[in-house]
């Protein structure tokens, strides 16, 4: 890879391998974004809820985005579950303007 100047592809190859391994093991990865750091018990409850929804074991990574104001956004593959206050306020604003 280095000789052919394809070393920049290494992160993408690693992600693809990880995704194939996850699929073989029947698990998916989820990214949960919240306005504040989530307590371990809350994160576990979110994980269990996502497992029920997907029917697979879910590996959760958590990030913080203060712009969400409150609530959380969970992304599992193409599925996005948006329960953030920011989105709810934007929806309300759209309905009021129409």
Residue 5 falls within a domain, yes or no?
no
In which domain, by residue range, is 35 found? 27-97
DSSP three-state, residue 21: helix
Is 21 within the bounds of a domain?
A: no
* Residue pLDDT, tens place only, 54-79: 999 999 999 999 888 888 999 998 89
Say which residues have a Cβ less than 8 Å from residue 10's Cβ, sequence separation at least 6.
1
Q: What is the CA radius of gyration of the chain?
A: 17
Is the residue at 6 inside a domain? no
Tally of domains within the chain: 1
In a domain, 51, yes or no: yes
Model confidence at 2: pLDDT above 90? no
Q: Which helix (H) or strand (E) holds 5?
A: none
86 pLDDT higher than 90: no
Instruction: Say how far residue 39 (Cα) sits from the centre of its chain.
Output: 17
């Amino acid at each position: 890879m280095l000789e052919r100047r394809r070393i920049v592809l290494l992160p993408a190859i690693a992600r693809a391998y990880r995704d194939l391994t996850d699929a073989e093991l029947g698990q998916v990865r989820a990214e949960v974004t919240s306005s504040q750091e989530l307590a371990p018990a809350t994160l576990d409850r979110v994980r269990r809820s996502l497992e029920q929804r997907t029917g697979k074991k879910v590996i959760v990574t958590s990030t913080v985005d203060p712009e969400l104001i409150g609530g959380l956004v969970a992304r599992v593959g193409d599925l996005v579950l948006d329960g953030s206050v920011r989105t709810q306020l934007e929806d309300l604003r759209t309905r009021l303007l129409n």
